[in-house]
C-alpha cells in the first residue's frame, strides 16, 4: 500500500528542509528518513501506468486521497529558490538541438521552453533560431529573468494553441501528471511542430522525489509518448549522444554530482 506523505504545506518549511539537506547524508538515513530530511515528507511513488510499470510517479495526496496541488506548487517553488543559481541547460547542446529543429521543421517564429529557472534555454534558442522564445517557471523568481513568465507548465495560454513551432524542456520530470502535461504541450504545437525532451541520469525512476515527481528510462519514455500520442503525436527521433553528454552539477558548495547520458527525444505532432 502506498504511504501518504505528511500534510506540511508551508513554503518556508519546505525551503528550509531543501536548503539544509546535504546529499552526503543520504547513506545515513533510511528511505523514509531521507525524504523527510530533504523534503519534509515521506515517499509515495507509484507506476505511471499499467503498460509501463518501470516509469515512476510521486503522488501528492491528501489524507482523503485527493490531489494536493498546493503542496506540489509549494514544493516546486521552494526547490526553485534553493537551486536558483544552478544551470542545467548547456549552450552547445541547445545549439545542436536548434540545428535539428531547422532540419526537421525549417524556420521558426515562436517557441516555448518550460521549467527554465534562469531563462538561458529561451535566450539560446532565440539566438540560434532568430525567433521569439518564451520560458515558463512556476516560481515568482521568473520576474528576475528576461523572456520568462511565472506559469505552471501544465496549463496553456490560448495564444499558444497551434501557434508554437517547438517546445523544449529538461524539466518534464517535474510534472505531477505527465500524460496530461505532454498532451497540453502538443496542443500548443503547429501541425508538424516539435517537442524536445532532454533526458539524462537525472530523469530515471531511481531519482524520483517530490521535487522531480516523474522518472523514466529513455526507452520507457519513448514507449509512453508513442502510446499516449495515439496517432496525434509520436517520437520522431532519439538523439543518443548530445555534443556534451556528461557534466558536473554543483548541488552544494562542497558536493558535485556527475550527470551522464545526456540525450534528447524529439516528438512530432502529426499534421
pTM as predicted: 0.82
- Indicate the pLDDT class of residue 251, thresholds 50, 70 and 90: low
* Range 139-164 average pLDDT: 98
CB atoms within 10 A of CB 18: 21
Q: Is residue 174 a contact partner of residue 233, using CB atoms and an 8 Å limit?
A: no
- pLDDT, tens only, 29-49: 333 333 444 444 444 556 565
DSSP state of 203: G
Helix (H, G, I), strand (E, B) or coil at 266: strand
Distance from C-alpha of 145 to C-alpha of 1, rounded to nearest angstrom: 43
Helix (H) or strand (E) holding 168: strand 164-169
Q: Is the pLDDT of residue 190 over 80?
A: yes
Judge whether 215 and 204 are in contact, CB under 8 Å: yes
Q: How far apart are CA 127 and CA 247, in angstroms?
A: 23
Between residues 51 and 234, the one the model is more confident about: 234
Residue 65, number of CB atoms within 10 A of its CB:
9
**110 touches 130 (CB < 8 A):** no
The CA-based diameter of the chain, rounded to the nearest angstrom, is 53
Is residue 267 a contact partner of residue 236, using CB atoms and an 8 Å limit?
Answer: yes
Say yes or no to pLDDT of 249 above 90: no
Residue 16 has pLDDT above 60, yes or no: no
First to last CA, the chain: 43
Distance of CA 251 to the CA centre of its chain: 17
Question: What per-residue confidence (pLDDT) applies to 36?
Answer: 41
**How many residues are present in the chain?**
271
Give domain 91-269's CATH superfamily: Vaccinia Virus protein VP39 (3.40.50.150)
Tens of pLDDT, residues 61-110? 999 999 999 999 999 999 999 988 888 899 999 999 999 999 999 999 99
Please give the Cα distance from 101 to 268 (Å, whole number): 11
Domain borders along the chain are 11-82, 91-269
Amino acid at each position: 500500500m502506498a504511504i501518504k506523505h505528511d500534510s506540511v504545506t508551508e513554503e518556508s518549511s519546505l525551503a528550509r528542509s531543501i536548503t539544509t539537506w546535504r546529499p552526503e547524508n543520504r547513506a545515513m538515513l533510511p528511505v523514509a528518513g531521507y525524504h523527510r530530511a530533504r523534503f519534509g515528507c515521506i515517499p509515495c511513488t507509484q507506476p505511471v501506468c499499467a503498460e509501463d510499470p518501470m516509469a515512476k510517479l510521486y503522488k501528492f495526496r491528501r489524507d482523503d486521497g485527493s490531489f494536493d496541488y498546493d503542496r506540489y506548487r509549494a514544493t516546486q517553488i521552494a526547490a526553485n529558490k534553493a537551486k536558483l543559481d544552478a544551470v542545467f541547460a548547456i549552450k552547445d547542446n541547445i545549439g545542436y538541438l536548434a540545428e535539428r529543429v531547422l532540419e526537421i521543421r525549417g524556420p521558426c517564429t515562436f517557441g516555448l521552453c518550460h521549467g527554465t529557472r534562469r531563462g538561458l534555454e529561451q535566450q539560446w534558442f532565440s539566438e540560434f533560431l532568430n525567433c521569439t522564445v518564451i520560458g515558463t517557471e512556476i516560481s515568482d523568481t521568473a520576474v528576475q529573468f528576461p523572456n520568462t513568465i511565472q506559469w505552471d507548465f501544465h496549463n496553456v495560454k490560448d495564444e499558444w494553441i497551434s501557434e508554437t513551432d517547438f517546445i523544449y524542456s529538461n524539466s518534464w520530470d517535474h510534472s505531477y501528471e505527465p500524460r496530461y502535461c505532454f498532451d497540453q504541450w502538443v496542443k500548443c504545437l503547429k501541425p508538424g511542430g516539435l517537442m524536445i525532451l532532454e533526458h539524462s541520469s537525472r530523469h530515471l525512476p531511481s531519482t524520483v522525489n517530490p521535487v522531480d515527481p516523474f522518472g523514466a528510462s529513455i526507452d520507457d519514455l519513448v514507449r509512453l509518448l508513442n502510446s499516449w500520442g495515439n496517432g496525434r503525436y509520436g517520437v520522431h527521433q532519439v538523439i543518443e549522444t548530445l555534443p556534451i553528454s556528461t557534466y558536473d552539477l554543483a548541488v552544494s558548495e562542497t558536493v558535485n554530482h556527475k550527470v551522464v547520458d545526456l540525450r534528447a527525444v524529439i516528438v512530432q505532432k502529426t499534421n
